[in-house]
Structure 1
Amino acid sequence: MVIRKRDPARTLALLWRAPEHRSRKPGLGADEIVRAGIALADAEGLAALSMRGVAERLGAGTMSLYTYVPGKDDLIDVMLDTVYGETEAPGPEVTGWRARLEHVARQNWDLHRRHPWTLEIATARPVLGPQETAKYERELRTVDGIGLSEVEMDSVLSLVLGHARTAARGALEAADAERRTGLTDEQWWQAHAPLLDRLLDPEHFPTAAKVGSAAGSAHGAASSAEHHFEFGLARVLDGIDVLIRSRDAR
């Protein structure tokens, strides 16, 4: 998990594009540097991100980047804030808090799948940039006016976003395993399932044998990140529904 160390005032000035971070020459500025950083992280992962690598993508000298971006940790913050701007509020055709929250969950699931490096960044302390702030605002609006307190609105949103992030991490791990081994989850399961059937004694592990076999048959693999996302999201929304109904019953 990547934890950034940076000067708060300096990073916030970059996030909100104070004048000193705006482009002074054609083709090079904070925006161009951030876009190149995102492209590099998307292609090769966050471990491959460096100021030198970004400079090479831009055809610029490494030191020229520091004119606009103080360092790598600051760059990561702005990259994260920038991709947060890709999420969209539910349209007017999406009605009801449950459908709106489901939209939020799917937007974040898709975001993490497009940019897997976002899952490598510690987010306990938000970046507090303009795109993250706008994202927080539009996501909170999906549960505004449904009977929750302000703290509960924040907690409900954190619960939904946490589920999407955890499920997306499972999908990333499955994709990484496929790249490392050259086997899809289905191929891996087909190779291991017959051996497991012979080795897993139902008398000693009756529940594991029964459930594992059923899940393997259902998913065609040991597990399915997509299934876990859908199943878990439905249960999370069910729990929120119970909370809201308890308020209506008062």
Structure 2
Amino acid sequence: MNQEFSGSGDPAKSLALLWRHRQDEQRPTRGPKPALTVDQIVTAALEIADAEGLSAMSMRRVADELGVGAMTLYRYFPGKGELLDVMLDTVYGELPRRVVPGDWRARLDEVARENRELYLRHPWLLQVATSRPPLGPNVLAKYEWELTAVDGIGLCDIEMDATVALVNGYVHGAVRTAVEARQVIQRSGMTDKEWWLAHVPHLDQIGDLEKFPLSARVGTAVGNEFDAPYDTEHAFEYGLERVLDGVSVLVANRRAP
């Protein structure tokens, strides 16, 4: 995947676009009355990125989709960096940020699942490094909601931030694997079960497997269980439980007398 970086645009211009509130603020200050709005441009960019990936999304391509010249877009956005920031903030606004019953573990579990759903809807998010996040309203609302999941459970502020980052980092890696698994099916035209069944008849002919008894035993068990060498749903559920188990130990230690 080609990597992009959030926060790479002009800070003042990105913030002005991210925090727009009135229609007047979405209009360029020079030239004739505009035919577009910031929201229309962002919507077109998101449609391209969702359908074809972030590498297909350029200022010229967005302009073509909107039926205008590329220079028209530069009256609204200085460049792709600022547009990408607003795209990120916009999709983060899709998070329902549900309030779930239960303790911190249930809340963190919900944080993980909502982020996973968002990545699966917009897999191009995996192509964006967000160590310098766009400081828009939806980005900040997301962070606030995630911190609420671990507020008041005995962690210090640094630990709260690190715990949220741990869960989000796990989800990012797990979803990347799931998206890649989905893409290989699309590109090969073969399901994981079909791939597995095509290999099974030939495994007994590979004498070297006798040198790897654990691999043969465990790999066969996995293949029989999932009809595939790997199951992304099982892996996500198992991994998330282990991550939360680790946080449980930290919380218990902080509460211990």
For 1:75, the equivalent position in structure 2 comes to 83
- Find out whether 1:84 has 2:74 as its counterpart: no
| Matched residue SS, 2:239 | helix
Check conservation: 1:140, 1:157, Cα contact below 8 A: yes
After TM superposition, give the deviation of residue 6 of structure 1 in Å.
2.4
Q: State the aligned residue count.
A: 249
Cα separation, 1, equivalents of 2:107 and 2:255: 20
Q: Once superposed, which parts of structure 1, at least 4 consecutive aligned residues long, lie more than 6 Å away?
A: none
Cα separation, 1, equivalents of 2:89 and 2:5: 15
Question: Which whole-Å deviations, capped at 9, do the CAs of 1:73-129 have from their partners, x for residues lacking one?
Answer: 2211211111011112232x4221111111100000000000000001111221222
Question: Which whole-Å deviations, capped at 9, do the CAs of 1:28-69 have from their partners, x for residues lacking one?
Answer: 111111111111100111111011221222222221111111
Check conservation: 1:38, 1:79, Cα contact below 8 A: yes
Residues 191 and 167 of structure 1: CA distance in aligned 2, closer, same or farther (over 3 Å): same
For 2:55, the equivalent position in structure 1 comes to 47
- Find out whether 1:23 has 2:30 as its counterpart: no
Residues 128 and 182 of structure 1: CA distance in aligned 2, closer, same or farther (over 3 Å): same
Cα separation, 1, equivalents of 2:203 and 2:89: 45
Match for residue 185 of structure 1 among 174, 192, 196: 192
- Find out whether 1:14 has 2:17 as its counterpart: yes
Check conservation: 1:108, 1:161, Cα contact below 8 A: yes
- Find out whether 1:160 has 2:167 as its counterpart: yes
For 1:32, the equivalent position in structure 2 comes to 40
Check conservation: 1:21, 1:29, Cα contact below 8 A: no
For 1:3, the equivalent position in structure 2 comes to 5
Cα separation, 2, equivalents of 1:186 and 1:228: 17
Report the TM-score, using the length of structure 2 for normalisation: 0.90
Match for residue 220 of structure 1 among 220, 227, 247: 227
| Matched residue SS, 1:144 | coil
Higher relative contact order (CA 8 A, sep 6+): 2
Which amino acid is the alignment partner of residue 9 of structure 2? R
Percent identity reads 52
For 2:64, the equivalent position in structure 1 comes to 56
Cα separation, 1, equivalents of 2:21 and 2:93: 19
Moved more, 107-116 or 200-209: 200-209
Cα separation, 1, equivalents of 2:101 and 2:44: 34
Report the TM-score, using the length of structure 1 for normalisation: 0.93
Name structure 2 gaps, 5 residues minimum.
none
> What RMSD over aligned residues (CA atoms) do the two structures have, in Å?
1.9
After TM superposition, give the deviation of residue 198 of structure 1 in Å.
2.9
